[in-house]
Amino acid sequence: MFEWQKEKDRQNLHQLGYVQELHRTIDGFSSFAISFSIISILSGLVTHFGFGLKMAGPAAVWTWVVVGFFNTLLAFSLGEIASAFPLAGGVYKWVRKLAGVRVGWFTGWISFIGWLGVTAGIDFGLGFFLTSYVGLDSSNLRTVVWITAIIVTLHTLLNVFGISIVAWFNDFSVTVHIIGVIALVALLLAFGQRHSISIVFNTGNIQPGHYWYGFTQALLMSAWTLTAFDASSSVSEESINPSKTVPWGMISAVTVSWFFGALLLLSLDLALPNLGLLLKTETTATLEIVKSALGPILSNFVMAIVQVAMFAAGLSSLTVTVRVLFTMARDDGFPFAKGLKYVSPKYETPVYSVFFVGGMAVMLCVIGAVLPVITSLSTFSIYLSYAIALSAALLAKRNGKVFRGDFSLGRYSTPLQVISLIWTVFICLDMLLSPTQHTWKFFLGIIVILLGYYFAVMRKNLAYKYRRLSETEIEELEVLRGGR
Amino acid sequence: MTVELDSRESSKNADFHDILISHRNVDDFYRQQGLRKVLKTRHLWAFGVGATAAKAFFGWNYGQPIAQWTSYMVAFSIVTVFYFTFMLTFAEIATTFSYAGGAYAYARRAFGKAFGFLAGITSITQTVFIAAVITYALGEYIHFLSPYVHPLFISIVFFCALSLVQILGIREASAIQLLIAGCAVSGFVLYLMGTCNHIPIKAVLTQLPHTNIKGILTFFPFALWFYIGSEGIAMTAEETKEPSKTIPLGFLTSALTSIAIAGTVFGLSILALTNNKTIFQSSFPLFAILETIQKNDKTLLVVFGALGITALTGCLKTMINAYSRQVYALSRAGYLPPVLARIHYGRRTPYFAVLFPGLLVLLLVLSVRVKFGITIASLSANITYLVILASFFKIRLKEKNRLQKTFRVPFYPLTPIIALLVSVIGLLSFVLFYHLAVLTMLIIYGVGTLIFVLWVRNNVFDDAPEEFSAESAVLQQKVTVGNGS
């Protein structure tokens, strides 16, 4: 089935100068599933709802409306680029193609940091929830970090020894997310309603003069949740007809998440108990709301489903982060690239990359220590990588470079990309300038290290001229590597 | 395997391919029998779990008084061992003969046309009686939750709606079944969470009743009730994708889930009941127990009540699917009027095979008492198990190379022997203590034999599709061996 399509995809990849090494098995639904699982409304919204409440009161739900609208436009804009460059590595490879290896290398690193933050953020959030769920003190950071480390270790081991389980979990994750949201929303609407719909206009205890400032801070809740949808593009070389399935996978993941997320936030708002008490719990606020609305047994049951969804999202996220790292290591863009790009013939996974990402994720939790710090760093990095990709695309167009895949926005392409660029820059500034977090300090430190590494090592390495392979060489390599 | 072959081309070349015995024979068989192949492991799991979930919810407490609960526990443990060993054996034979006929197809292959017919009748009796009991229970249960609803009316509404879903198509039916099974399992998890901390362990340990063989045997049919009907998933074999992989996996995952559900429900309920024997009289013991333990948590009770409906619905859907495929397979082979084997052109479902036995179910709902229905269903299931196991041994011994290589029952012959021994003990318990049920089954067999002699014998096809396919596969194997490849 789809053999003719796979042959066409192979020819397209050759035209981009790459060898078909991976087997194309991912269809449209799986492409959607990957991004939908990593967006994971049950991880992002459930862990950050308390933060949103603290910053903007119940009206924080409007941040979801704003972010959902602009991120749909962003998904369309990035989808067009993904369609033109259906290559594994996503943003890194797009920029490399559009703006050269140097900008590509920096973007790849920024994207990797963002993805690492996504993984750490999801697992740290689950760590907080699980600590509270099993009856331990979630305000004790040491306990939370230990539990998070256990979760990350499980994800790491699954990625090394059970890649087939990871693939199964990825599809299962979609079911758990949809069932989890429907169950939670239906139960909260049926049994937990305490307020009328006007609660969505309640700004909490925030002083009127400071409200809009708080609202922009609360954007973190929605911006972090509804991001990393470029996951579909990271598996472009394994997708069937990626020029169409990848952009539509990204767009559908964003819009479906937007719809279900809106329902979830609305039901949580309507079920809000005492706001003052709730704000003290911040990260586990959702757990308190669900408990007070549904009673101990039912809430434990529903939150167990939510935590399974979080676990699945963390697993998918770690898998994609490893792919991003592996793609860069394959181009020798990382220190110790030889080890990082090593694929175990027994387990068919880049084992050292998996351990590296797992270790870095735990380290980020230890250094970051506060969930919004990790997630804002992640949000900043991911949106910055999007902004660079959009700028590169706009500049390339201005310079007369033509790139077009099967998914094209036609005359709306440039306006949409400009709006998306402005939006991503706005989110970056919002995350960077926040006085409640210390994102800018973190990012500054990372940039300093990155520049040091660039000038010390990479400037020479990147000066190496990448020769485009001829069609005959590509064919020979494919036969050698068994990619066909 | 390609199923969408050009029918004109394949019929034109039929003789040629019959001589050659190629894959096309098997392909043609699958194409001609016409059911749509869409089911995956998760769907088989849903049909299997759906079949057993309702039994854990209803009917298992209709036996002897709870005072002898240790005897019941022993009976339950023996039946659980039987069920697991049987499902392992069944997985092998069902993988080999992946046809809609189930027990009928295996018995015909092993013992001939007449036994095939009697096995088919037993299987239909079992599924129709289970469907009738569950339809009745569904109405009673909804009436119990909401007294304003008329039980019989709602029973018929549910039954007709589920039959309609079955006619709509296997894809729709299996998707709904998956949802229903998921909800049913959630209900049992809630039950576990709501009761596990409320077991009076000390009281239980100080009041252990005496266990005796008679007690164990009298509880046997009700212990068997937990698991019967799950073998109905074999009826979907022709609608399964990659049956050599999907069937064993679907059977084993559903068996393990069913054992986990039945074990948890039975253990927790029996232990919780020891201090409050009046609950045992309830038609719906799980709800009554949870209501007693968690009386202040109204939200939990409402949700659990709603999930209980899905548990009963899941079983009913599996039974409708099972008897429709059994009737369809018998009609296709000429045992029943050919009209029952008609398949809807677009939806590829045997709609008459859904509707006609459905009328019989409705008739039984109006006329049969629950306890009698349960014993008849359990007895016919027990006989079905015996037939399947006997067929398995016969085929294994006579046709050594016939059974599937992809899945083999572990620890052969110990595993099927255990299953066979327990099912013989089961049959003994019916003969000793449930005479009315035995008599009823004898009457059914008498009528069946009469029908066979008077009508079936002259109408049944010599080349039943199942047999034809089996022969093709054997010959194909011989040709391959002969070619030295």
What residues of A are in contact with residue B182 (Cβ under 8 Å)?
179
For residue B453, being part of any structural domain is answered with yes
B399 or B47, higher pLDDT: B47
Interface residue B200 vs chain A (CB under 8 A): no
Point out the residue among A187, A191, A301 whose CB comes nearest to the CB of B193: A301
**Cβ–Cβ of A301/B189 closer than 8 Å?**
yes
Of the residues B4, B40, B300, the best mutation for testing chain A's interface (the one with the most A CB atoms within 10 Å of its CB) is B300
Interface residue B186 vs chain A (CB under 8 A): yes
The residue segments making up the domain with residue A195 are 3-466
Nearest chain B residue to A1 by CA distance is B2
| For residue B29, pLDDT beyond 60 | no
Interface residue A66 vs chain B (CB under 8 A): no
Of the residues B297, B303, B310, the best mutation for testing chain A's interface (the one with the most A CB atoms within 10 Å of its CB) is B303
Q: In chain A, what percentage of residues exceed pLDDT 70?
A: 87
Cβ-proximal residues to B14 (8 Å cutoff; 6+ apart), any chain: B28
Q: In chain A, what percentage of residues exceed pLDDT 90?
A: 26
For residue A429, being part of any structural domain is answered with yes
Of the residues A290, A297, A299, the best mutation for testing chain B's interface (the one with the most B CB atoms within 10 Å of its CB) is A297
pLDDT value for B187: 92
What residues of B are in contact with residue A179 (Cβ under 8 Å)?
182
Half-sphere CA count of B476, side-chain side, radius 13 A: 15
Q: Measure the CA–CA gap between B380 and B126, rounded to whole angstroms.
A: 5
| A vs B: CB pairs below 8 A | 26
Degrees, nearest 5: CA angle A113-A119-A125: 125
DSSP-derived letter for residue A226 is T
> A461-469 contacts: CB < 8 A, separation 24 or more?
A461/A332, A462/A101, A462/A102, A462/A105, A466/A101, A468/A17, A469/A17, A469/A19
CATH number at residue B232: 1.20.1740.10
CA distance A285 to chain B (A): 21
**Cβ–Cβ of B189/A187 closer than 8 Å?**
no
Q: Measure the CA–CA gap between B376 and B434, rounded to whole angstroms.
A: 9
Mark B360-380 as b/e (b = at least 16 C-beta within 10 Å).
Answer: bbbebbeebebbbbbbbbbbb
The residue segments making up the domain with residue B387 are 39-482
**Model confidence over A73-115: pLDDT tens digits?**
999 999 999 988 888 778 998 898 888 888 999 999 999 999 9
| For residue B30, pLDDT beyond 60 | no
The residue assigned the tokens 């509707």 is B355
For residue B457, being part of any structural domain is answered with yes
| For residue A340, pLDDT beyond 90 | no
Token digits for A338? 């030889």
Degrees, nearest 5: CA angle B323-B326-B328: 105
Angle between helix A41-56 and A211-225 (nearest 10):
180
Point out the residue among B189, B294, B299 whose CB comes nearest to the CB of A294: B299
**Cβ–Cβ of B182/A179 closer than 8 Å?**
yes
Token digits for A188? 């909260």
**Cβ–Cβ of B190/A295 closer than 8 Å?**
no
pLDDT value for A147: 92
Interface residue A298 vs chain B (CB under 8 A): yes
For residue B224, being part of any structural domain is answered with yes
Rounded to the nearest angstrom, the gap between the alpha carbon of residue A221 and the centroid of all alpha carbons in its chain is: 13
Q: Measure the CA–CA gap between A250 and A235, rounded to whole angstroms.
A: 12
Extended beta strands in A181-223, E state = none
What residues of B are in contact with residue A187 (Cβ under 8 Å)?
299, 303
Degrees, nearest 5: CA angle B76-B81-B87: 120
Question: Does residue B315 contact residue B443 with C-beta atoms inside 8 Å?
Answer: no
Q: Pick from B392, B425, B375, B382: which is nearest to B63 by CA?
A: B375
Q: Measure the CA–CA gap between A60 and A71, rounded to whole angstroms.
A: 17
How many domains does the structure of chain A reveal? Answer: 1
End-to-end CA, chain B = 21
What residues of A are in contact with residue B300 (Cβ under 8 Å)?
295, 297-298
Where residue B34 falls (left for φ over 0; alpha for ψ -120 to 50; beta otherwise) is left
Q: Measure the CA–CA gap between B313 and B53, rounded to whole angstroms.
A: 10
Count the helices and strands in chain A (H runs, E runs): 21, 0
For residue B29, being part of any structural domain is answered with no
B345 or B374, higher pLDDT: B374
**Model confidence over B302-328: pLDDT tens digits?**
999 999 999 999 999 999 999 999 999
In three-state secondary structure terms, B462 is coil
- Please give the mean pLDDT across all residues of chain B: 82
Nearest chain A residue to B193 by CA distance is A297
How many domains does the structure of chain B reveal? Answer: 1
Question: Does residue B230 contact residue B51 with C-beta atoms inside 8 Å?
Answer: yes
Nearest chain A residue to B179 by CA distance is A179
Token digits for A9? 């995809």
- Beta bridge mates, B240: B39
What residues of B are in contact with residue A297 (Cβ under 8 Å)?
190, 193-194, 294, 297, 300
What residues of B are in contact with residue A299 (Cβ under 8 Å)?
none
What residues of B are in contact with residue A296 (Cβ under 8 Å)?
297
Highest mean pLDDT among A236-240, A331-335, A461-465, B470-474: A331-335
ipTM of model = 0.75
pLDDT value for B373: 92
CATH number at residue A102: 1.20.1740.10
Q: How far is residue B186 from each of residues A170, A179, A292, measured CA to CA in Å?
A: 21, 11, 21
| For residue B18, pLDDT beyond 70 | no
For residue B14, being part of any structural domain is answered with no
Cβ-proximal residues to B287 (8 Å cutoff; 6+ apart), any chain: B144, B301, B304, B305, B308
**Model confidence over A189-219: pLDDT tens digits?**
998 888 888 888 888 777 666 778 888 888 8
For residue B1, being part of any structural domain is answered with no
DSSP-derived letter for residue B178 is H
Interface residue A294 vs chain B (CB under 8 A): yes
Q: How far is residue B479 from each of residues B17, B328, B482, measured CA to CA in Å?
A: 13, 32, 5
Band of the pLDDT at A419, cuts 50, 70, 90?
very high
**Cβ–Cβ of A295/B186 closer than 8 Å?**
no
| For residue B469, pLDDT beyond 60 | no
For residue B430, being part of any structural domain is answered with yes
Degrees, nearest 5: CA angle A296-A298-A301: 105
Highest mean pLDDT among A7-16, A233-242, B244-253: B244-253
DSSP-derived letter for residue A22 is S
For residue A65, being part of any structural domain is answered with yes
Other C-beta atoms closer than 10 Å to the C-beta of A348 total 10
**Cβ–Cβ of A191/B190 closer than 8 Å?**
no
DSSP-derived letter for residue A467 is P
Q: Pick from B245, B131, B220: which is nearest to B423 by CA?
A: B220
pLDDT value for B22: 44
| For residue A338, pLDDT beyond 90 | no
Q: What is the mean pLDDT of residues B57-80?
A: 80
Interface residue A81 vs chain B (CB under 8 A): no
Q: Pick from B54, B285, B283, B303: which is nearest to B181 by CA?
A: B54
pLDDT value for A273: 85
Question: Does residue A294 contact residue A85 with C-beta atoms inside 8 Å?
Answer: no
Torsion of CA B382, B388, B389, B394, to 10 degrees: 150
Token digits for A225? 């949740």
pLDDT value for B404: 54
Rounded to 5 degrees, φ, ψ at B199 are -95, 120
For residue A472, being part of any structural domain is answered with no
Q: What is the mean pLDDT of residues A464-473?
A: 60
What residues of A are in contact with residue B186 (Cβ under 8 Å)?
301
For residue A481, being part of any structural domain is answered with no
pLDDT value for A51: 86
pLDDT value for A470: 65
For residue A428, being part of any structural domain is answered with yes
Band of the pLDDT at B277, cuts 50, 70, 90?
low
Q: Measure the CA–CA gap between A327 and A22, rounded to whole angstroms.
A: 13
For residue A476, being part of any structural domain is answered with no
Q: Give the H/E segment covering residue A103.
A: helix A101-133
For residue A475, being part of any structural domain is answered with no
pLDDT value for B15: 42
**Cβ–Cβ of A301/B297 closer than 8 Å?**
no
Q: Which of A104-113, A163-172, B54-63, B180-189 has the lowest mean pLDDT?
A: A163-172
| For residue B13, pLDDT beyond 50 | no
For residue B3, being part of any structural domain is answered with no
**Cβ–Cβ of A295/B300 closer than 8 Å?**
yes
Point out the residue among B182, B189, B299 whose CB comes nearest to the CB of A295: B299
Nearest chain B residue to A178 by CA distance is B179
A250 or B208, higher pLDDT: A250
> Got the DSSP string for B302-369?
HHHHHHHHHHHHHHHHHHHHHHHHHHHHHHHTTSS-GGGG---TTT---HHHHHHHHHHHHHHHHH--
Q: Measure the CA–CA gap between A438 and A432, rounded to whole angstroms.
A: 8
> B260-265 contacts: CB < 8 A, separation 24 or more?
B261/B49, B261/B52, B261/B53, B261/B56, B261/B185, B261/B188, B262/B52, B262/B55, B262/B56, B262/B76, B262/B80, B262/B226, B262/B227, B263/B80, B264/B188, B264/B191, B264/B192, B265/B56, B265/B57, B265/B188, B265/B191
